[in-house]
Structure 1
Amino acid sequence: MPTPANQAALEQARQDHIGRLLHRAARAFNVSALSKLHARGHTALSLAHTNLLPHLEAHGSSIVKLAERAGMTKQAAGQLVAELEQHGYLMRRADPRDKRAVHLDFTPAGWQYLLDAQAIKREIAAEYRAKLGEATWDTLNAALSSLLE
């Protein structure tokens, strides 16, 4: 069993690393975006919904493809899709290429969400740019892009 000092050092190491900072920054972005979405009337949305919706292509997707892109089970995606349907953001229809499959499309409310989400992303980016300064903002974006290549 580790000593209390070893436990404290291990806990510190678990919290202080780039992965944790990236996760916390992404969560802060998402929480801010959700708050702004709620202010624009999208009060039925949760973080789980807003984490799923970016994986739905503008021309629609199947639940299977949506689940794969979001990194979740088909059942979990199906539950979130059912909630988004209930709130009027998505609708199901028969897939034109496979009549047995279901195709998901945005409703007019879903399209309004997409427009609002884009405006909010630009708003948050402007806030970050103002806080960091243009040079640091550009460096941050370039560094993150390099990590993802």
Structure 2
Amino acid sequence: MMTAAIKPTDDADFARFPQFAPFAFRQDRKSVQLANHHYAAHLTRTNPGLAAAVVNAGAVETDILRAAPAAMRLGGKILGPLVYDSIEKAAHNPVETTLRDDWETPTYWGKPGRFEQRTPITLDASVTEHLMDISRTLTGA
């Protein structure tokens, strides 16, 4: 799974999960991103042999700004070479996970292109199950 750069920790407030209404970026960003970590932990606990990971791909050099206002496109062209990672660098860790089996699952990669810099996802199982129960109720699964 891809997510923004956020380490797997147990300090998020999930009181507003999953509605986040009205969405407040500063308040809700962490719990939205950490839900991915919890899902990876859930998948590996409930599916022995399944490998799950969360990856921060970073700011990637794509054509995402093609429909943005002219000023944003210009800013992207000027700052892009300084701040964007190549697609190859962004894809490095996910590709390596398919080629190697020397990584613990679930794992989080916070730095694009740095396969050896990884963090095992060890979250409170009761919080993970609470989030999964909420998700099951929401989806009817």
Structure with greater Cα Rg: 1
TM-score, length-scaled by structure 1: 0.30
Structure with bigger RCO (C-alpha 8 Å, 6+ apart): 2
More helix by percentage: 1
